Amino acid sequence: MAFLYKGDNAAAWAQEFAARAPEIPFHLWPAAGEAADFDPAAVRFLAIWQPPADIPARFPKLEILFSVGAGVDQFDLAKLPPTLPLVRMVEPGLIDGMVEYVCFAVLGLHRDMPHYLSAREWRPLPVKTAAQRRVGVLGLGELGRAVLTRLATFGFDCAGWSRSRHELPGVRCHAGADELPAFLAGCDILVCLLPLTAATRGMLDAQLFAALPAGAALVNVGRGGHLVEKDLLQALDDGHLSAAILDVCEPEPLPAGHAFWRHPRIWLTPHIASATQPASAVEAVLENLRRHARGEALVGLVDRSKGY
Domain harbouring 27, CATH code? 3.40.50.720
State whether 106 and 138 are in the same domain: yes
Question: CB within 8 A of 287, min separation 6: which ones?
Answer: 299
What total number of domains does the chain contain?
A: 2
State whether 223 and 164 are in the same domain: yes
State whether 222 and 154 are in the same domain: yes
Asked whether residue 299 is domain-assigned, the answer is no
Q: Which of 50-59, 61-70, 198-207 has the lowest mean pLDDT?
A: 50-59
Angle separating helix axes 92-110 and 278-294, nearest 10 degrees:
130
pLDDT at 30: 85
Contact criterion met (CB below 8 Å) for 1 and 25: yes
pLDDT tops 90 at residue 34: no
State whether 111 and 250 are in the same domain: yes
**For the sheet containing 64-67, what is the strand order?**
26-28, 2-6, 43-48, 64-67, 86-87
Instruction: Give the residues across from 132 on adjacent strands.
Output: none
Contact criterion met (CB below 8 Å) for 98 and 275: no
Question: CB within 8 A of 100, min separation 6: which ones?
Answer: none
Does 223 qualify as catalytic in the annotation?
yes
State whether 74 and 117 are in the same domain: no
Interval 200-212 mean pLDDT: 98
Catalytic residue among 88, 110, 223, 226, which?
223
Asked whether residue 50 is domain-assigned, the answer is yes
pLDDT-derived band at 38, boundaries 50, 70, 90: confident
Instruction: Write the CA distances from 36 to 1, 25, 60, integer angstroms.
Output: 18, 15, 19
CA distance 289 to 45: 9
pLDDT tops 90 at residue 180: yes
State whether 86 and 102 are in the same domain: no
Query: Which amino acid appears at position 278 of this protein?
Result: P
The number of residues in the chain equals 308
Range of the domain at 260: 94-268
CA distance 107 to 130: 9
How far is C-alpha 99 from the geometric centre of its chain's CA atoms? 11
Look at residues 113, 49, 43, 121 and name the one whose alpha carbon lies nearest to residue 84.
43
Q: Which of 40-54, 82-96, 160-174 has the lowest mean pLDDT?
A: 40-54
Query: Which amino acid appears at position 237 of this protein?
Result: D
Asked whether residue 135 is domain-assigned, the answer is yes
Catalytic residue among 201, 258, 271, 292, which?
271
Asked whether residue 307 is domain-assigned, the answer is no
pLDDT at 33: 60
Contact criterion met (CB below 8 Å) for 37 and 241: no
- Neighbour tally for 25: CB within 10 Å: 17
pLDDT-derived band at 1, boundaries 50, 70, 90: confident
Does 271 qualify as catalytic in the annotation?
yes
Asked whether residue 300 is domain-assigned, the answer is no
State whether 129 and 263 are in the same domain: yes
Dump pLDDT digits (tens) for 242-288. 999 999 999 999 999 999 999 999 999 999 999 999 999 999 999 99
**For the sheet containing 189-192, what is the strand order?**
172-175, 157-162, 134-138, 189-192, 216-220, 241-246, 266-268
pLDDT-derived band at 62, boundaries 50, 70, 90: very high
State whether 139 and 37 are in the same domain: no
- Neighbour tally for 176: CB within 10 Å: 11
Asked whether residue 302 is domain-assigned, the answer is no
Asked whether residue 100 is domain-assigned, the answer is yes
CA distance 121 to 112: 13
Interval 164-186 mean pLDDT: 97
pLDDT tops 80 at residue 16: yes
State whether 130 and 240 are in the same domain: yes
State whether 67 and 110 are in the same domain: no
State whether 101 and 245 are in the same domain: yes
pLDDT at 276: 95
For the chain, the average pLDDT equals 95
pLDDT-derived band at 189, boundaries 50, 70, 90: very high
Dump pLDDT digits (tens) for 83-136. 999 999 999 999 999 999 999 999 999 999 999 998 889 999 999 999 999 999
Question: CB within 8 A of 63, min separation 6: which ones?
Answer: 44, 45, 84, 85, 292
State whether 237 and 168 are in the same domain: yes
- Neighbour tally for 89: CB within 10 Å: 24
Asked whether residue 62 is domain-assigned, the answer is yes
Burial of 288 (0-12, 13-18, 19+ CB in 10 A): buried
Contact criterion met (CB below 8 Å) for 271 and 253: no
Question: CB within 8 A of 91, min separation 6: which ones?
Answer: 276, 277, 280, 281, 283, 284
pLDDT-derived band at 219, boundaries 50, 70, 90: very high
Tell which wins on pLDDT, 129 or 54.
129
